[in-house]
Amino acid sequence: MATAAGAVRTAFKSMMVTAIADTAVQVEVGYPWPQTSADIVSVGRVVVGLEPGPMGPQRQRVETITVEVLISVFRPGGQEQEEIASARAYELLDAVEHHTRMVDQTLGGLVQSCLLTGHELDSAPFSDDTGQGRTVEVLATFEAKNRVRN
């Protein structure tokens, strides 16, 4: 196998469904469409970096797979919904982060390790009329390490 990136992307969705354990949350790979929930978690961009592994006849490499997860939470209403939506977005991030750190650090044996390495929050009114709702998005970055043996 030249890379585990595709399998990691697919495994992330399964892991997030298990970690979040809430059927009201829409969990997807790629852009979620149609959007059927106010709470959406999606696996997005995947970037792979390679480093030479130990010298030897197999020419192993160490693969770093960076996976971006977008958590989007919408709450109808005005400015008062900002903190409520933010808290829910972080609650969803905490569930996924806890799972990769404490329950299954290897994504079912697919990689050597997978941990959250950073995240950022952004928010905006639903439209020009802030009374229609607030959307909060957390972009989380996870880093998986894998040894490529062939």
> What CATH number is given to the structural domain containing 18?
3.30.70
pTM of this structure: 0.90
- The pLDDT assigned to 110 comes to 93
Helix, strand, coil shares of the chain, percent, nearest 5, are: 30, 40, 30
Is 109 within a domain? yes
12 within 8 A of 69, measured Cβ to Cβ: yes
pLDDT of residue 105: 95
Q: Give the dihedral sign, CA 7/62/16/81.
A: negative
Domain carrying residue 27: 7-142
- Per-residue pLDDT tens over the stretch 1-31: 578 899 999 999 999 999 999 999 999 999 9
pLDDT (0 to 100) of residue 39? 97
Number of domains present in the structure of the chain: 1
The answer to whether residue 29 sits within a structural domain is yes
User: In the prediction, which pLDDT does 130 show?
Assistant: 56
- Residue 119 placed within a domain: yes
Ranges under pLDDT 70 in the chain: 1, 53-54, 58, 125-131, 150
Residue 13 lies inside a defined structural domain of this protein: yes
30: in domain: yes
Within a domain: 1: no
150 lies in some domain: no
